Amino acid sequence: MFLMFALRRTDVLPVADLGIRMAMKKAYSLDDLPKPAEMEKIAAAWKPWTSVACWYLWRSLDKVG
């Protein structure tokens, strides 16, 4: 989180973050929470904006209304 928000790095994938793991599971219709290697495979297409994609994943879990 420090790299993403304090240092404003655009290509960070927080593989240990439960929110990102849950959002990936939901967005990609996975049976289980993804492991770091699977997360890196999925996120390869997001480079060099992985941090931005992660922000959208976090937001996708927000309840509306």
- Interval 3-62: pLDDT, tens: 887 888 899 999 999 999 999 999 999 999 999 999 999 999 999 999 999 999 999 999
What pLDDT is recorded for position 18?
96
Answer for the pair 24, 39: CB distance below 8 angstroms, yes or no.
yes
Q: Confidence band (pLDDT; 50, 70, 90) for 65? A: low
pLDDT above 90 for 1? no
What's the distance, CA 5 to chain centroid?
14
Q: Which residues are catalytic?
A: 17
Q: What would the two tokens of residue 28 be?
A: 């990609």
The b/e string for 3-37 (b: 16+ C-beta within 10 A; e otherwise) is ebeeeeeeebbbbebeebbbbbeeeeeeeeebeee
What pLDDT is recorded for position 4?
84
The CATH label, of 1.10.1670.40, 1.10.3720.10, 3.30.70.100, 2.30.110.10, for the domain at 2-60 is 1.10.1670.40
What pLDDT is recorded for position 54?
95
